[in-house]
Amino acid sequence: MALTKKNIIVGAARVYLGPSTSDSASLGSSKPALVAGTKYSTTMALADGSTNTGVGTLVTNWRETGYTTNGLQVATNPSWSDVEVDQLLDSAKIFKDGMTLEVSTTFAEATLENLLVAWGQASTSLSSAAPFEKEAVLQGGSLGEAPLERGLVAIGNAPEQAPNVYGERVYNLYRVLSVEAASFTNSRSEATTIPVTFRALPADTGDYGTIRDRSNVS
């Protein structure tokens, strides 16, 4: 493979979260369709269900989380076991016996909506307490309660599709859950940010989701 700077990627990603639902089978499919020639960030910006301007089938309840810091980290963590045999000093075979995938970022916009995401709560616990006011209920949950699942889409840069013009890389994870401890600080000298780590779970097909590089967008 020849050396080419086109494959060097820099730049931040935009993060979108889908509606929470108890139907995990619908999390991967209930998103706006990819449209040839149209940036997916353009499609997602219109995914509020209010209008259709020819960019495909729009789906309600997808929300951009806003500004982020520290980038978007996608980490896989496979685990392997060894089969040791008498005739070798090493293992004769290894096999995969576990797998996890996590996505983490830091919300720079410390809204109540983003707080609820980090705490693994549904947006239905956010209400208008009075004009110009919002209130979030800090839920304790109940014994045996299942964690809340959402769909996740992240859009970043892909290798260049033309000189100094990046393509678009779209991450779509079907099922993500915020199950890590989350904390934030109100500080005199620093902005309040919300670190969040999502644990991804596979769909019934065994797939976590997809990553697609798009070079036909403008």
For 174-194, how does the pLDDT look when each residue is reduced to its tens digit (9 = 90+)? 999 998 888 889 999 999 999
pLDDT for residue 29 is more than 90 = no
pLDDT, tens only, 102-123: 999 999 999 988 999 999 888 7
Report whether 177 contacts 201 (CB < 8 A). Answer: yes
pLDDT for residue 53 is more than 70 = no
Report whether 194 contacts 184 (CB < 8 A). Answer: yes
* pLDDT of res. 191: 94
Give Cα separations from 32 to 10, 92, 177 (angstroms).
Answer: 26, 47, 21
* pLDDT of res. 163: 85
pLDDT, tens only, 146-174: 888 889 999 999 999 888 889 999 999 99
Q: What does the mean pLDDT of the chain come to?
A: 84
As a whole number of angstroms, the distance between CA 47 and CA 38 comes to 14
- Work out the pLDDT band at 59, boundaries 50, 70, 90: low
Report whether 207 contacts 173 (CB < 8 A). Answer: no
* pLDDT of res. 27: 52
- Average pLDDT on 35-46 reads 83
pLDDT for residue 88 is more than 90 = yes
As a whole number of angstroms, the distance between CA 112 and CA 128 comes to 11
